Amino acid sequence: MNHFAAIRGKLDAYGVDAMLLTQEANRLYASGFHSTGTDGAALVTKDETYYWTDSRYIEAAEREVRDAKVELVTVERGYTVLLNEAIERHGIRTIGFEDEYMTVADWKQYQQKLHAELKPATGLLTGLRMVKDQEELDALIGAQRIAEKALAEIYNDIRPGVTEKEIAAKLTYLMLRYGAENMSFDPIVASGANGSIPHAVPGEKKIATGEFVTMDFGCIYHGYCSDMTRTVAVGHVTEEMDQVYHIVLNAQLAGIAAAKAGVRGCDVHNAAAKVIADAGYGAYFGHGFGHGVGVEIHESPRASSTWKEPLPAGAVISAEPGIYIPGRFGVRIEDVIVIRDGGCEDIHRAPKELMIL
């Protein structure tokens, strides 16, 4: 899977002769090949595509990168040398670069050494990455199925006396066991009062009877991330815990019902936020309804109060409202949905009914 041709098709629209890709996620999106950090670069011109990396990755890149000329970076022939050779070869005058990712130090170096003008063009990649093709959707769904298998099994481990950290470690192990390449992010496992912290870090706290346990986790499969959250109870729930859980669930369903191509992200968020506010818990929902999911766990577009743009068909976003009552408990329920014309598709299969273990 690569998107070199799609990038090439946008060069004229951005007024550039080529696009330079140095950021890790954009390189992966473009080439289908993953190397960490800044250990690689790609250049998409109107005539040819180049992928450059060092001796640690060159053999794998030569095997996996398609539709590009793969070349070795050395001390003598570094990235700027190879770039200038391509610039001269193709008569390149302007090169788009990832202004929202590149460091000032790297920009200064390229600006000084390259024989072409650098032009900000992060939007070229952002726009393409917002709309997923079928191969991307298949990878996202594959990652989700792995996470769901881990969820089904972890229920057997959630009981009084088990620590949050033990559940997080087991989730990680299970997802790797079932085929994940890595985690989308460090799993969040929060029990009892810790659940009021949306991004709580799993610790040595032991799960107790009468508590909620919130698990937010995901994995990477074929380069693409899954993301899901389920909140379960241990032993029993109070009337308020039951009420809050179902408010969050109804808010999520309202946001999902509002999500379709052409609807602004803020309107999707507001549909869910209204349910929570009308129930009297508006002060306890402080984040957005959802974010884009793809080769990065957080990417565009978003379903938040600040995203005024319409959601495009083919976008993939999370659907994750929550209520967080400081010092007491929290509830979050998260699925991932694909935006379609006239509606959306929820790619999750895991049940969302309140589960008491």
pLDDT digits (tens, 9 = 90+) for 156-210: 999 999 999 999 999 999 999 999 999 999 999 999 999 999 999 999 999 999 9
Domain boundary among 129, 150, 169: 129
Mean pLDDT, all residues of the chain: 97
**Lookup: tokens for 188:** 């969040």
The predicted model gives 327-339 an average pLDDT of: 98
On whether both 34 and 16 belong to a single domain, the answer is: yes
On whether both 308 and 332 belong to a single domain, the answer is: yes
Could you tell me the CATH number of the domain that includes residue 221?
Answer: 3.90.230.10
Q: Residue 293 has what pLDDT?
A: 98
With a CB cutoff of 8 Å and minimum separation 6, the contacts of 341 are 260, 261, 262, 313
Q: Residue 220 has what pLDDT?
A: 98
Could you tell me the CATH number of the domain that includes residue 83?
Answer: 3.40.350.10
**Is residue 356 situated within a structural domain?**
no
CA dihedral of 279, 301, 118, 67, whole degrees rounded to 10 = 150
Structural domain count of the chain? 2
Domain boundary among 85, 102, 129: 129
8 Å CB contact between 344 and 256: yes
Give the confidence band of 39 by pLDDT, cuts at 50, 70, 90: confident
With a cut of 90, say whether residue 78 has pLDDT above it: yes
The predicted model gives 95-104 an average pLDDT of: 96
The predicted model gives 131-160 an average pLDDT of: 98
**Lookup: tokens for 38:** 């800044």
pTM value is 0.95
The predicted model gives 59-80 an average pLDDT of: 96
Residue located via tokens 């109870």:
233
DSSP string, 300-312: EEEESTT--SBPP
On whether both 220 and 312 belong to a single domain, the answer is: yes
Give the confidence band of 37 by pLDDT, cuts at 50, 70, 90: confident
**Is residue 265 situated within a structural domain?**
yes
**Is residue 235 situated within a structural domain?**
yes
**Is residue 351 situated within a structural domain?**
no
**Lookup: tokens for 117:** 């003008």
Domain containing 140 equals 134-346
Give, in degrees to the nearest 5, the angle at Cα 284 between 196 and 338: 90
On whether both 52 and 116 belong to a single domain, the answer is: yes
Domain boundary among 129, 144, 178: 129
pLDDT digits (tens, 9 = 90+) for 222-271: 999 999 999 999 999 999 999 999 999 999 999 999 999 999 999 999 99
pLDDT digits (tens, 9 = 90+) for 259-317: 999 999 999 999 999 999 999 999 999 999 999 999 999 999 999 999 999 999 999 99
Q: Residue 36 has what pLDDT?
A: 86
Q: Residue 38 has what pLDDT?
A: 79
On whether both 110 and 254 belong to a single domain, the answer is: no
Q: CA 40 to CA 52: how far, in whole Å?
A: 6
On whether both 306 and 337 belong to a single domain, the answer is: yes
Radius of gyration, CA atoms only, the chain: 23
- Give me the sheet containing 290-292, strands edge to edge: 299-303, 290-292, 316-319, 335-340, 343-346
On whether both 150 and 175 belong to a single domain, the answer is: yes
**Is residue 355 situated within a structural domain?**
no
On whether both 253 and 180 belong to a single domain, the answer is: yes
Task: Please state, for a pLDDT cut of 70, what percent of the chain lies above it.
Answer: 100
8 Å CB contact between 190 and 299: no
On whether both 97 and 163 belong to a single domain, the answer is: no
Give the confidence band of 339 by pLDDT, cuts at 50, 70, 90: very high
On whether both 102 and 157 belong to a single domain, the answer is: no
Indicate the residue type of 28.
Answer: L
On whether both 40 and 138 belong to a single domain, the answer is: no
Give, in degrees to the nearest 5, the angle at Cα 202 between 155 and 230: 40
**Is residue 352 situated within a structural domain?**
no
Closest CA to 314 of 294, 337, 339: 339
On whether both 143 and 55 belong to a single domain, the answer is: no
**Is residue 357 situated within a structural domain?**
no
Closest CA to 172 of 192, 201, 151: 151
**Is residue 199 situated within a structural domain?**
yes
The predicted model gives 65-82 an average pLDDT of: 97
